[in-house]
Amino acid sequence: MTKLLYIIFAGIFFFSSSISHALEVIEILGGKANQIPIAVMPFKSFGAPKNIAKVNTVIKSDLSRSGLFYALDTRGVSASPNSDKEVNFSQWKSLEAQFLIIGRVDFLKKEKVKVSWSLIDIYKQQTILSGEYVGKKTQIRAIGHKVSDKVYERLTGSKGVFHTKIAFVEKYNNEKYKLNIADYDGYNITSLLDSKMPIISPRWSPDGEKIAYVSFEKEKPVIYIQEIATGKRKLLANFKGNNSAPAWSPDGKKLAIVLTYNANSQIYLINADGSDVTRLVRSRSITTEPAWSPDGKEIYYTSNQGGGPQIYKYNLDSSEISRVTFEGKYNLYPSLSYDGKLLLYLTQDQGKFKVAVQNLLSNQVLKLTKGPLDEAPAFAPNGHMILFVYKDYGKTTKIGTVSINGLKIDPLPLGNKQVQEPAWGPIKN
């Protein structure tokens, strides 16, 4: 898949003569022709309790959300094969399916469940991957996500992110805030923190064990680090003025943070235990929103030194600063893909705020969303999907995902909740 992405971007670079052809590019990328058609059959279920999630529905929704697959409608397909021997291949070919997922679910004693599944290649007419998971009944969705991960990796060559966690902030009017953790698709929500004051900028530690965040509970922003397993937390930074924008170094030993004391926002480095605070750049302008390159050698950040906010990078070895974004007057909120090749940020385009991704080799920019009030884009750990915030027609903000090819935008099923500030946790082994 890394190859595919590279080809898409290389294609843009060579084939569009002008840099302003983002719309045309999205059109070229658009259409089902570029998605892998896959059919996920209903899994045969034995001894299922009422109201339990269907594994095949979880898998279908995962693959479809990724934007790289086109999940075929399997209603009206009467045959329900148990193995590749029973598949009517000509029927699936005529439905233009390339792959087929079949399986069964056995509900066992002691609240356990066993899921057996196979991935079948329609053209080769054989099973190319199969597996079995046993877990607790309450883990049924997690099992579905694991199957999706295996299928995704087999067919795209990249790790899936369907069994990862996200964090986000839930808000009730201006009176109550929660820092929540959930499955990547918004299910299984648990709360890490309840507060009467705002919470922003949650960031997962690289090992996925902790979350750094900014809380206004001391009537101004301060930074905490909280352990997810125990709920224990400690104050990382409570200096005079604001303490905000935590960003973990890739090795998890340090954080870049933003402090103001009695002046404007400046970026500092601090050890994860709170020791050794040093200023990174000195500037009369706003400098904020630090984001590390995956090799730990550069810090990207937002600065308004040229008037409106733009993204710059600071090299930690040479102390050199260079500007990174040039298209448009308002670019901010940088973050990098796991391979350091793509820069994700928020851009203002004809008055609308959109999620943009920039290839750092070619500097080609793609606008992935249409706005008008999108915000806070966050990469999945494989770089193939992005969480972002959008303003609903009502008075609330919602969270959705957009696929890196721009083909699939999907809301997270969080109901009427007002949600914001998403962060995507790492892939855990």
Tell me which residues in 245-304 interact with another protein (CB under 8 A). Answer: 245, 258, 260, 262-265, 286-289, 302
Rounded Cα–Cα distance for residues 333 and 337 (Å): 13
- The residues facing 303 across adjacent strands are 287, 310
Cβ distance to another protein smaller for residue 78 or 407: 407
Q: Least distance (Å) from another protein to the CB of residue 182?
A: 9
Told to check if 221 binds another protein by CB under 8 A, we report yes
Phi-psi region of 387 (alpha: psi -120 to 50; beta: other; left: phi over 0): beta
**What minimum distance in Å lies between the beta carbon of 116 and another protein?**
10
Please, which residue, 241 or 340, has the CB nearer to another protein? Answer: 241
Among 257, 234, 236, smallest CA distance to 247 is for 257
Given the rule CB under 8 A, which of 42-50, 51-59, 134-142, 319-327 is the region that contacts another protein?
134-142
CA-to-CA distance for 25 and 128, rounded, in angstroms? 33
Q: How far apart are CA 205 and CA 251, in angstroms?
A: 9
Return d(Cα 198, Cα 203) in angstroms, integer. 15
In 5-91, DSSP assigns E strands to 36-40, 44-46, 69-71
Q: How far apart are CA 142 and CA 148, in angstroms?
A: 10
Site string for another protein, 327-356 (x = CB under 8 A): ---x-xx------------x------x---
Closest distance of CB 348 from another protein, Å: 8
Nearer to another protein (CB atom), residue 78 or residue 291: 291
Q: Cβ of residue 316: shortest distance to another protein, in angstroms?
A: 21
> Contact 424/387 with Cβ under 8 angstroms?
yes
Cα–Cα distance for residue pair 357/9, rounded to 1 Å:
11
Which residues, 176 to 215, sit near another protein by CB under 8 A?
Answer: 178, 181, 188, 190-198, 200-201, 215
Q: What Å distances lie between residue 77 and 91, 127, 387, 409, 426, CA to CA?
A: 9, 19, 34, 27, 38
- Interaction with another protein in 20-49: which residues (CB under 8 A)? 28-29, 33-34, 36
Of 77 and 182, which CB lies nearer to another protein in the complex structure? 182
Q: Which of 61, 244, 369, 403 binds another protein (CB under 8 A)?
A: 244
The reply to whether 239 sits near another protein by the rule CB under 8 A is no
* Phi-psi group of 421: left, alpha or beta (phi > 0 → left; psi -120 to 50 → alpha; rest → beta): left
* Interface with another protein (CB under 8 A), residue from 8, 58, 72, 236: 8
- Binding residue (CB under 8 A) for another protein from 26, 44, 57, 241: 241
DSSP 149-187: HHHHHHHHSS---TT-EEEEEEEETTTEEEEEEEETTS-
Q: Which is nearer to another protein, 54 or 154 (CB)?
A: 154
Tell me which residues in 353-392 interact with another protein (CB under 8 A).
353, 373, 375-376, 391
Residue from 310, 337, 369, 397 in contact with another protein (CB under 8 A):
397
Site string for another protein, 410-429 (x = CB under 8 A): ----------xx------x-
Decide: is 82 part of the binding site for another protein (CB under 8 A).
Answer: no
Q: How many residues bind another protein (CB under 8 A)?
A: 97
Among 49, 308, 323, 411, binds another protein (CB under 8 A): 308
Q: Which of residues 107-126 bind another protein (CB under 8 A)?
A: 121, 124, 126
d(CA 154, CA 145) in angstroms, rounded, equals 14
